[in-house]
C-alpha cells in the first residue's frame, strides 16, 4: 500500500512539474527527452540500418551488372559492365547508409516529439491541460501531425526516389509512430535515464 501511495505521489509530483513549465520549456523538454531516447537506441539502429545498407548495395550492384550485360549489342556498343563490389565497398556503402539513417531516426524522435508538443500546446490538449489526455482525439492527431511533419522534413532528399505512393505510405507510417511515441517514451523513460546516468562521470549526477 505504501509503495502504491509513493508511486502515485511521484506521478503527481512529475505532473505538477510539467504543468509548471512554460510552453517553450515543455517543448524543449519533450525534444530533449525524445532525442535521448533515440540516442540510447542508436547502436541497435546503426547495426540494423548498416545491414540493410549492405543488402541494398549488393542488390543494386547485381541489378546494374545484369542491366549492363543485357542485350547482344552491349559489348559492341562499348558499354562497360560495372566492377563487382568488393566486401570493403559493400561494407563502406552499408556503413554510410547506416550512419545516415540512424542520424535521421534519432533526429526524427526529437523533432517529432517537439512538433507534437508544440501542436498540443497550440490546441491546449495533453497532460498539461487534461487529466485523461489519451481520451482526446486531438492529442493523437497532434502526434500524427508531428511524426509525419518530422519525417517529411528529414527526408526531403528521398522524395523523387520514393515516388508519391511510397512517400504517402511512409509519411502515414511516420505519423502512426508519432502517435505511439509518447507511449514508448513513458515505457522506456526510466531505463533511458538510468543508461544516461551510468554514462556520467562519478559524482556528476
The model's pTM: 0.81
Q: For residue range 78-109, list pLDDT tens digits in order.
A: 544 445 568 888 889 999 999 999 999 999 99
Residue pointed to by grid coordinates 532528399: 157
State the residue range of the domain holding 155. 8-189
Domain assignment present for 24 = yes
Cell numbers placing 78: 562499348
Q: For residue range 120-171, list pLDDT tens digits in order.
A: 999 999 999 998 888 999 999 999 999 999 999 999 999 998 999 999 999 9
Q: For residue range 120-134, list pLDDT tens digits in order.
A: 999 999 999 998 888
- Cβ atoms within 10 Å, residue 170: 17
Q: Which of 106, 97, 109, 114 is nearest to 51 (CA)?
A: 97
Domain assignment present for 21 = yes
Q: For the chain, what is the domain count? A: 1
Domain assignment present for 92 = yes
Domain assignment present for 203 = no
Cell numbers placing 120: 498540443
Domain assignment present for 3 = no
Amino acid at each position: 500500500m505504501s509503495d502504491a501511495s509513493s508511486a502515485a505521489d511521484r506521478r503527481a509530483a512529475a505532473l505538477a512539474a510539467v504543468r509548471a513549465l512554460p510552453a517553450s520549456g515543455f517543448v524543449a523538454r519533450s525534444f530533449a527527452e525524445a532525442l535521448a531516447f533515440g540516442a540510447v537506441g542508436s547502436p541497435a539502429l546503426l547495426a540494423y540500418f548498416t545491414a540493410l545498407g549492405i543488402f541494398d548495395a549488393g542488390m543494386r550492384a547485381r541489378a546494374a551488372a545484369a542491366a549492363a550485360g543485357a542485350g547482344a549489342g552491349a559489348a559492341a556498343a562499348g558499354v562497360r559492365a560495372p566492377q563487382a563490389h568488393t566486401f570493403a565497398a559493400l561494407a563502406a556503402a552499408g556503413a554510410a547508409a547506416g550512419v545516415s539513417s540512424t542520424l535521421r531516426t534519432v533526429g526524427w524522435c526529437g523533432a517529432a516529439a517537439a512538433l507534437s508538443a508544440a501542436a498540443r500546446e497550440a490546441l491546449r490538449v495533453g497532460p498539461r491541460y487534461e487529466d485523461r489526455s489519451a481520451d482526446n482525439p486531438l492529442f493523437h492527431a497532434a502526434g500524427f501531425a508531428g511524426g509525419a511533419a518530422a519525417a517529411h522534413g528529414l527526408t526531403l532528399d528521398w522524395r523523387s526516389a520514393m515516388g508519391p505512393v511510397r512517400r504517402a505510405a511512409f509519411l502515414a507510417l511516420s505519423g502512426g509512430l508519432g502517435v505511439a511515441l509518447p507511449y514508448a517514451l513513458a515505457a522506456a523513460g526510466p531505463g533511458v535515464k538510468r543508461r544516461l546516468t551510468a554514462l556520467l562521470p562519478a559524482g556528476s549526477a
